[in-house]
Chains A and B, each alone.
Chain A
Amino acid sequence: MKCFQVALSVVLLAVNASGTAATIEMTVNGLVCAFCAQGIEKKLKKFAATAEVVVNLEHRLVAVALKDGQDISDTDLRKALTDAGYTVKAIARTETPIADLRERLKQVQP
């Protein structure tokens, strides 16, 4: 019975994990140059859960695509961006795949 409960817990955790956000979008202040973007990209790629990073200066946006079933806490993200020298104004978690986000950014480019 105990084995069954443990197995059920593992299954439920896996299901829950697969339901985590696909992409984390952050609004960042001070994002004005390619070097800023380069430093942020380098920092965020150090997280094991990071699949891909997108930085868009026009929209002050930093997005992290997460690996399946993995996550990065808001606290860790804020610390990473602060340690990189920038100010995080907002963090939003979405199910939008990073490819769709890229496409959306292309469409709204001035």
Chain B
Amino acid sequence: MARFYVGLCITVAAAAPAYAKPIAFADGTTVMAEYGAGTMQEFQVFYAPRFYYSVGGGQVDFTSDVDGRTEHITYARLNWLAHRWNLEAAQANVFVWGGLGSATGNAFTGTRVTSNAGLQADYETRRVYASFKSDLQRSSDFSDRIDTLQLGLAPYAHDYGGLASWLVFQTRHYTGELHSGIETAALLRLFKGGAWVEAGITNAGKLQAMAMFNF
């Protein structure tokens, strides 16, 4: 099964020869889709007028593997680069975001107004990548937060125009009774030009995948 996922990842990368930050670059559009092991699925589109902020929206679907509860949230969001450190051979960033949306779900009737807030801190060289991200979606009926820690190691230093390969180790913690315990995953990340794909498996043997395109 793992071979299938690696094969799938390589195939997608070859078909659409890219990075996960809420802001890619000034005057750039980012389209991102993530499949989170059956617990969450998210689709986002953002446009960055400047390098330090982007605006857009998305849809996130949660399915609790604890009680079968589902939530479907559509939101608009502002992403803000709070600080960037441009070092000689590294870059570090702190992003924050916030937004509003509406939700439907099988644990309540009608729709609920939602608020969204989050932050991401990352550090990257051409061989090492580390990030921590916390994303909260809440309404009068639920409060779901996903905390994600990633450590990436590149077997070689890529350059612009070439294929970048990363081995990424991820741990994720869900609140709001979406998932019990800590979820871990091993991922293969590939990017080239403006396209990025990653796929792997979790400790429960489920698929974790993401694709992102910047243009």
A: residues with CB less than 8 A from B are 28-40, 42-43, 55-58, 60, 83-87, 109-110
Assess whether B19 is in contact with A39, with CB atoms less than 8 Å apart: no
Assess whether B193 is in contact with A110, with CB atoms less than 8 Å apart: no
A to B CB contacts below 8 Å, 18 in the list: A28-B86, A30-B86, A30-B90, A32-B90, A32-B124, A33-B164, A34-B164, A35-B18, A35-B24, A35-B214, A38-B25, A38-B194, A39-B25, A43-B26, A56-B159, A57-B158, A85-B26, A109-B159
Assess whether B26 is in contact with A39, with CB atoms less than 8 Å apart: yes
Q: Does B43 lie at the interface of the complex (its beta carbon under 8 Å from any beta carbon of A)?
A: no
Residues of B within 8 A of A109 (CB): 159
Which residue on chain B has the smallest CB distance to residue A58? B159
Alpha-carbon distance between A31 and B158 when the two chains are bound, in angstroms: 12
Assess whether A42 is in contact with B158, with CB atoms less than 8 Å apart: no
Alpha-carbon distance between A72 and B26 when the two chains are bound, in angstroms: 20
Assess whether A34 is in contact with B191, with CB atoms less than 8 Å apart: yes
Assess whether B160 is in contact with A57, with CB atoms less than 8 Å apart: yes
**CB contact list, B77-101 vs A, under 8 A:** 81, 84-91
Residues of A within 8 A of B164 (CB): 33-34
- Per-residue CB proximity of B22-45 to A under 8 Å, as 1/0? 001111100000000000000000
Assess whether A39 is in contact with B24, with CB atoms less than 8 Å apart: yes
Alpha-carbon distance between A37 and B27 when the two chains are bound, in angstroms: 14
B89 interface neighbour in A37, A56, A60, A110, Cβ under 8 Å: A60
Residues of A within 8 A of B108 (CB): none
Assess whether A34 is in contact with B192, with CB atoms less than 8 Å apart: yes
Given contacts A32-B125, A33-B126, A38-B194, 9 further A-B contacts (CB under 8 A): A30-B86, A32-B124, A34-B161, A35-B21, A38-B28, A55-B160, A56-B160, A83-B51, A84-B25
Residues of A within 8 A of B69 (CB): none
Number of B positions contacting A (CB below 8 A): 34
**Given that A30-B86, A32-B125, A34-B192 are contacting pairs, would A39 and B28 also be in contact in the complex, using a CB cutoff of 8 Å?**
yes
Which residue on chain B has the smallest CB distance to residue A109? B159
Alpha-carbon distance between A48 and B210 when the two chains are bound, in angstroms: 37
A104 to chain B, nearest CB (A): 14
Which residue on chain B has the smallest CB distance to residue A30? B86
Residues of A within 8 A of B25 (CB): 35-36, 38-40, 42-43, 84-85
**Given that A32-B90, A32-B91 are contacting pairs, would A42 and B124 also be in contact in the complex, using a CB cutoff of 8 Å?**
no
Alpha-carbon distance between A58 and B161 when the two chains are bound, in angstroms: 12
- Per-residue CB proximity of B143-181 to A under 8 Å, as 1/0? 000000000000001111100100000000000000000
Residues of B within 8 A of A110 (CB): 157
